[in-house]
Structure 1
C-alpha cells in the first residue's frame, strides 16, 4: 500500500506549475498527466510494474482530455499507434529492456505527444530516455532492487512537459 501523502504532495507540486504554464484548453490534460505520472511512478518504483487498473483507464481519460483540448483525433490515434509500435518493437527485440506496462502506457503518451506536435514524438522519446537514465536509474540503483529500471516515469515526464509547451 502507498501512503496517500506519497501521491498528494508530488501531485500538488506538479499541478501548481501546470496551472501557471499550460494553455487554458490544455490544462485538464496537464493535470491528468501530472496525476497519472505521480501515481504510476510511485507504483512503478515500489512494485516494478504499471498495473492495468491504471494504465488501461488512461486511454479513455486521455482521449477525453484531448477532445476537451480540441486535439485532432486522427493525429492522436496515429501518435498512439506509432509510439506503441516503437515500444512494442523494443519489448519484442529485448524483453528485459522494457516491461509490458511501459508498452501499454506508450499509447496514451504517444497520443498526447502527437497532439502537441509531430516533433514532440521523437523529442518525447529522447526526454523519456534521458529521465530514465539520469534520474530513474540512480534512484533504482540506490534502492538495490533487482530487475529493470522503470521507464514509466520518464514517459510520463515527457508527456507532461509536452503539454506544458503546447501553447
Structure 2
C-alpha cells in the first residue's frame, strides 16, 4: 500500500465530487456540495487503500455518490452525469466491446420496463442503466441479472424505509448494485 498514491487518488476523488456537484447545480438538481465532495473523495481513498487497481470502480463511485444524492433529493438523474457516463465507462472497461453490448442489453431491458410502466421507472433510470450495464457486462454477463436483483432489493429497502410521495428512487439501487458487483470481480 502506497499511502501517497492513496492520498492522491482521494484528492482526485474529492475534485471529481466537487465537479459533479457543480454540474448538478447547473442542471437544477443541487446536492449537498460538502457531502458529495467529501463522500466521493472518501470512497476513492478507501478503494485506493484497499488496493483496487482498476479504474472502473473509481468511475462508478464518481457517478454513484452525486447521482445517489440527486435521486434521493430530487428524484432525478440528470443528463449532465448520466450521458457522459457512457464514454467514461467504455473507456475504462476491461472489455470495451462487451461493455457496449451490455449497455444495449441492460439499458434496453430498463427501457422496456419504462415503456410498460412509465410511473415505475423514469427516463433517467433507463439512461443510467445503459451505462451501468456497460460496466457490468465488461466484467461478466452474469453480473447483469445479479445487478437487477440486487438493485431491486436496495430499492425495496428504500421503499420500506420511508414514505416516498413521488415514488421510490431506483438510481441508488442501480448504482449500489453495479459498484458492488464490479468491485467483487477479481483482478
TM-score (norm 2): 0.77
| Partner residue of 1:45 out of 72, 78, 86 | 72
Structure 2 contact 31–66 (Cα < 8 Å) conserved? no
Which runs of structure 2 are paired with 1:141-160 in the superposition (5 Å)?
A: 141=162, 144-160=163-179
Which residue of structure 2 aligns with residue 61 of structure 1?
Answer: 88
Larger RCO: Structure 1 or Structure 2 (Cα < 8 Å, ≥ 6 residues apart)? 1
Mapped partners of 2:141, 2:31: distance in 1: 36
Which residue of structure 1 aligns with residue 144 of structure 2?
Answer: 121
Structure 1 contact 23–166 (Cα < 8 Å) conserved? no
Whether 1:77 aligns to 2:106 is no
Whether 1:2 aligns to 2:34 is no
Structure 2 contact 95–139 (Cα < 8 Å) conserved? no
Mapped partners of 1:150, 1:22: distance in 2: 31
Cα distance, 1:31 vs structure 2: 1.1
Which residue of structure 2 aligns with residue 137 of structure 1?
Answer: 159
Which runs of structure 2 are paired with 1:7-46 in the superposition (5 Å)?
A: 7-21=36-50, 23-24=52-53, 26=54, 28-46=55-73
Cα distance, 1:12 vs structure 2: 3.3
Mapped partners of 2:51, 2:185: distance in 1: 7
Structure 1 contact 127–154 (Cα < 8 Å) conserved? yes
**1:39-74 residue CA offsets vs partner (Å, 9 max, x unmatched):** 0011111111111111111111111121xxxx2222
User: Which consecutive unaligned segments of at least 5 residues does structure 2 have?
Assistant: 1-29
Mapped partners of 1:111, 1:147: distance in 2: 29
Mapped partners of 1:117, 1:104: distance in 2: 20
TM-score (norm 1): 0.86
Q: Size of the alignment, in residue pairs?
A: 157
Which residue of structure 2 aligns with residue 98 of structure 1?
Answer: 121
**1:16-49 residue CA offsets vs partner (Å, 9 max, x unmatched):** 442245642x2x2111111210100111111111
